[in-house]
Structure 1
Amino acid sequence: MLFNEKELSEECGVFGIWGAESSQYLTYLGLHSLQHRGQESAGIVCNDSGKLQGYRNLGLLSQVFDKPEYLERLSGNSAIGHVRYSTAGENKIENVQPLFFDFSNEQFALAHNGNLTNAITLKKKLEQVGDIFISSSDSEILMHLIRHSKKKLFEDKIKDALKQIQGGFAYVLLTKGSLIVALDSHGLRPLSIGKLPEGGYAVASETCALDAVSAEFVRDVQPGELIIINDDGMKIDHWTNDTKMAICSMEYIYFARPDSNILGVNVHISRKKMGINLAKEKPVAADIVVGIPNSSLPAASGYAEASGLPYEMGLIKNQYMGREFIQPNQSLREKSVRQKLAAVRSVIKGKKVVLVDDSIVRGTTCAYIVQLLKDAGAIEVHLRVASPPFKYPSFYGIDIQDSKELIAAQKTKEEMRQQFGADSLEFLSEKGLISAIGLNFDTPYQGLDLSYFNGDYPTPLYDYEEKVSKDLKIGKE
């Protein structure tokens, strides 16, 4: 993705362990592999002989657990962890997960990836009956609904609560006696389960985290499932059977790590196929293909392979620049981009360049990147984007909830090309994207949420309906 003053941000990462010694250290390793999904805060809660204890704070995982004693004082054979990006709720200590609840009759902790579309309505109703919220995160709502349920068994209380919430969610809960996993009815957020060498289980937002703890992949959690893992093994149940797969397409385009597999599809391979399809759909006469580090490189490789053009490392990213490096004005932002990215003049000079990016969201520094290549001596710069135009906001766990933030919702393709200073600009089609990912579900969209590109949301949007009706009108004009 082209560097913006505020890049499109991942949702969150959740991880869980059941039945393994030193669960806190395994959870730390798993979360480290998920750090790309959230850099604002991190936390771990462990189950030590039926008593839950945890530690959480603001910052990167390594900053939160920067002293050995923070992990050493946690113990037990089961744990859950979370790395957070605040798509709903402020970035403050009260919102750091896992959220931990210590009642007189029970303890449990929960970690959540996603966003609830009826959170505002539910919170108002709960406050009206006297509930007090300790955080501004929508994740806490599930706990209140569980406590209000009249069901006797805890897992039935969870089912009761899940039937009242809407949107995208992957929950991992830890109690004294079990690790509980739940996924929304459309599978919008990814979640996988693996078997540990010592016999226990691991649960993670991405399979790369299972690999980090040497867990053998067992299965992806399916829409509407409620899975209970305890000392008796793994029990697969459902909180609803009214399901239809619609996994977030941006997981394949940008969010997930290239070494992760989502629903049996490797992310790197799908991104390379996006580049291949893009080259077939939008060819251009050029000398070399250059990708923008890092998530665009597989698509650039695919474009080069399909077009027969040389693939060159024409842009170098400074890997030591933090993603959180955000500057308050355009002049400083451009200087920060120069620190983040450099053109290899000897590769670029005198060449017609195909510049491949995975997606364009806000596009505020696209012009600067194109100019960077032209300053390095590029004769022409043809921008090719390995996804359709991002025209519609997201409400399932990505930090774009207003079409005004999306350049493709405000400008035509030609207007964008002129603003960027590119010699041409083309996007991958929806058909090309679906083909590249290659899921095989019996639905018109092949089990993918493509609402960012066409405004066809897989679920009702409840609290956002009025906003969405305006955004849909803008996007289709």
Structure 2
Amino acid sequence: MLTTDPFDPISDDGDKLREECGVFGIWGADTASAVVALGLHALQHRGQEAAGITSFDGKWFHSHRAVGHVAGNFDEDHIIRQLPGEAACGHVRYSTTGESGLRNVQPLYAELASGGFAVAHNGNISNAWTLRQDLVKHGSIFQSTSDTETIIHLVATSGFKRLLDCFIDALKQLEGAYSLVCLTPEGMIGCRDPLGIRPLVMGRLGPKDGGAIIFASESVAFDVVGAEFIREVEPGELIVVNDSGIKTHRPFAPTAPRPCIFEHVYFSRPDSIVDGQSVYSVRKQIGVELARENGVEADLVIPVPDSGTPAAIGYAQESGIPFELGIIRSHYVGRTFIQPGDKVRHLGVKLKHNANRPLIEGKRVVLIDDSIVRGTTSTKIVDMMREAGAAEVHMRIASPPTTNSCFYGVDTPEREKLLAAQHDVEGMRDYIRADSLAFISIDGLYRALGEPGRNNAHPQSCDACFTGEYPTPLTDHDGLADVTQLPLLAERVT
């Protein structure tokens, strides 16, 4: 929750782009729910508000959803025993639409005419409000405020006979971003929107012949459960897995994919593979490009833990300036608590980060961070360096200025609360009180991804938070961002 003053230098809530959600599903494994719980542990960074698992034992569906982390909610045997079956899907959540609370915790589940239907969703249905109004007008009764429930109602009210056809019919009415893992009596479905904005990968646990099939938001979840990475689910692809095997459907018209570029900057774990590339290697290369574009004379390169570390390594290697851990982060503190009184609140900052004073004193330091959103954290970190005796404090950012909000499943402040939307770089430097401030260019970011630069005519990724160029035009509807309809095919999968 944001404070009243969007640029309050004390509170750091809202000063990071929130990591959307994470999904994980498996079909054909003994104690499937236990595997899902392990997979969700690996994806905890994508959503720390709530977690849920739904399993299917061949006859009945079983669900357990809870507010809080996976640990503490799914680490006891009796909970896993309540989720029997060889198929299960799970979800970790940070809400981007819909209020916090148990009724919005996923997977969402409903009994349809074709049987049980559970859905775990990463992304944001940007026309959900419009669809919801129409569904309610025609008799649908919603149990949550999540945009994901719209999918269930669209499937339930479709005029097609087969569940798969109803599901495709529902998808073709959606606008925005989605990676979905759905559990039904007929099998498990994994799919991505036609632009492939949100990630989804497929893996196998066990032997190639007869092993269990897994869908997950990131490949690191496969490492944790001991599964083999098969491939990414392609943009616009729908994969059905059941005891008969794996079938792929492509119900959408071909379109150039636009995967979220911020997965490489911050969202994904460094040990994941995204878009065929090591996230850690890309982040190091971002640091290399940042040093080439925005070098400065200094004594130390210091990462802002932990998100700035790989880029700081790359920056140090390219610049020849020593890399040091000049900020020590406590791993036992969540969001900074807010206490009455400026002095106490200021001291609360050091619960998360503390300067390594003997290292910093008298030194010119280059701070490397992944992004600046509202600027409150950067201000505190720069002040911390000065209090520790730094002679100069230079800030370098491993992404371009964040000037626009995201409408595709990432929780960003309103545009007027983004520091880069209100100030030029010099104004931002003055606000955070650094001696200098520089960002990697948009072309530099693409070079770190192995591209010659940004293709301005046909951008390779969704980079709207930096450029304001959304994959599809945005219009306003009842105060919500609305994405115009993606190209659809009239035919149905038969």
Same fold (TM over 0.5): yes
1:28 aligns with 2:37: yes
Matched, 1:419 2:431: yes
- The answer to whether 1:136 aligns with 2:136 is no
**AA at the equivalent of 1:200:** A
Using the TM superposition, give the Cα deviation of residue 369 of structure 1 relative to its aligned residue in structure 2, in angstroms: 0.8
State the secondary structure of the residue aligned to 1:62.
Answer: coil
Of 334, 352, 372 in structure 1, the residue corresponding to residue 346 of structure 2 is 334
- Structure-2 separation of matches of 1:402 and 1:5: 14
SS at match of 2:139: coil
The counterpart of 1:457, out of the listed 462, 470, 474, is: 470
Q: Distance in 2 between matches of 1:267 and 1:334?
A: 34
TM-score normalised to structure 2 length: 0.91
Q: For residues 348-402 of structure 1, give each alpha carbon's deviation from its aligned partner in whole angstroms, at most 9, with x where no partner exists.
A: 1111101111111111132221111111111000000011000000000111151
What is the aligned partner in structure 1 of residue 357 from structure 2? Answer: 345
The Cα of 1:337 is off from its aligned counterpart by 1.7
1:306 match: secondary structure: helix
Aligned match of 1:106 = 115
Deviations for 1:18-70, whole angstroms, at most 9, x for unmatched residues? 11111011000000000000011111111102321111111111132254311
1:472 maps to none
Q: CA deviation at 1:345?
A: 1.1
| Partner residue in 2 for 1:200 | 212
Rounded Cα–Cα distance in structure 1 between residues aligned with 2:413 and 2:212 = 39
Report the identity percentage.
Answer: 45
Partners of 1:70 and 1:209 lie apart in 2 by 21
Query: Which residue number corresponds to residue 474 of structure 1?
Result: none
The one of 365, 374, 381 equivalent to 2:386 is 374
Which position in structure 1 is the counterpart of 2:12? 4
| Partner in structure 1 of residue 229 of structure 2 | 217
Q: Could you list the runs of 5+ residues in structure 1 that have no partner in the other structure?
A: 470-477
Change beyond 3 A, Cα 1:239–1:337: farther
Tell me if 1:171 matches 2:180: yes
Tell me if the contact between 1:120 and 1:463 (Cα under 8 Å) persists in the aligned partners: no
Instruction: Tell me whether 1:65 sits opposite 2:74 in the alignment.
Output: yes
Structure 2 residue corresponding to 1:436, chosen from 430, 433, 448? 448
User: What residue in structure 1 maps to residue 241 of structure 2?
Assistant: 229
CA contact (8 A) 2:475 2:481 kept: no
Match status 1:17 vs 2:17? no
Aligned partner of residue 258 in structure 1, secondary structure: coil
Cα 1:202–1:101 change in 2 (3 A) is same
Query: 1:382 touches 1:423 (CA, 8 Å); kept in 2?
Result: yes
Are residues 274 and 214 of structure 1, via their aligned partners in 2, closer, same or farther at CA, if it must alter by over 3 Å? same
| C-alpha distance after superposition, 1:63-115 (max 9, x if no partner) | 32254311112111111000000000011111000001124651110000000
Q: 3-state DSSP class of the match of 2:448?
A: helix
Q: What residue is the counterpart of 1:262 in the other structure?
A: 274
Matched, 1:388 2:388: no
Structure in which a larger fraction of residues adopt helix: 1
Aligned residue type for 1:24: S
The amino acid across from 2:180 in the alignment is: Y
Cα distance in 1 for partners of 2:42, 2:197 equals 20
For residues 66 and 463 of structure 1, do their structure 2 counterparts lie closer, same or farther at Cα, with a shift above 3 Å needed? farther
1:38 corresponds to 2:47: yes
**Alpha carbons of structure 1 residues 441 and 302: separation in structure 2 relative to 1, 3 Å:** closer
1:77-92 alignment, distance < 5 Å: 77-92=86-101
Change in CA separation of 1:328 and 1:189 when aligned onto 2, cut-off 3 Å: farther
Q: Look up the equivalent residue of 1:454 and give its one-letter code.
A: T
Is the partner of 2:376 in helix, strand or coil?
coil
SS across alignment from 1:359: coil
Distance 1:467 1:230, change over 3 A: closer
RMSD: 2.0
Check the 8 A contact 1:167/1:461 in 2, yes or no. no
Amino acid at match of 1:5: D
Q: 1:467 to 1:24 in 2, by over 3 A?
A: closer
CA contact (8 A) 1:45 1:52 kept: yes
Q: Which residue of 1 aligns with 2:163?
A: 154
Residue of structure 1 in register with 2:6 after alignment:
none
Are the aligned partners of 1:117 and 1:463 in contact in 2 as well (CA < 8 Å)?
A: no
CA distance in 2, matches of 1:378, 1:174: 55
Q: Name the residue aligned to 1:285.
A: 297
Q: Aligned equivalents of 1:234 and 1:442: distance in 2?
A: 36
Distance 1:456 1:143, change over 3 A: same
Alpha-carbon distance in structure 2 between the residues aligned to 1:246 and 1:50: 39
What SS does the corresponding residue of 1:189 show, helix, strand or coil?
Answer: coil
Q: Which moved more, 1:94-103 or 1:442-451?
A: 442-451
Partner SS, residue 15 of structure 1: strand
Alignment partners' CA distance in 2, 1:294 and 1:319: 10
Equivalent residue number for residue 262 of structure 2? 250
Q: Tell me if the contact between 1:441 and 1:447 (Cα under 8 Å) persists in the aligned partners.
A: no
Which residue type is aligned with residue 458 of structure 1? P
SS at match of 2:148: helix
Q: Is the CA contact (8 Å cut-off) linking 2:443 and 2:454 kept in structure 1?
A: no
Verify the 8 A CA contact 1:149 1:160 in the aligned structure 2: yes
SS of equivalent to 1:111: strand
Which residue is equivalent to 1:314? 326
Q: Which consecutive unaligned segments of at least 5 residues does structure 2 have?
A: 1-8, 483-494
1:189 paired residue number: 198
SS at match of 1:101: strand
Shift of 1:219: 0.9
Does the 8 Å contact 1:195/1:202 carry over to 2?
yes
**What letter matches 1:340 in structure 2?**
K
Cα distance between partner residues in 2 of 1:464 and 1:354:
44
Alpha-carbon contact 1:169-1:189 (below 8 Å) kept? yes
Q: CA deviation at 1:347?
A: 1.1
CA 1:65–1:131 in 2, change beyond 3 Å: closer, same or farther? same
Aligned residues: 467
Distance (whole Å) between structure 1 residues aligned to residue 339 and residue 111 of structure 2: 41
**SS of aligned partner of 1:335:** helix
How far does residue 442 in structure 1 lie from its aligned partner after superposition? 10
**Residues in 1 aligned to 2:125 and 2:224: alpha-carbon distance in whole angstroms:** 30
- 2:180 is paired with a residue of what secondary structure? strand
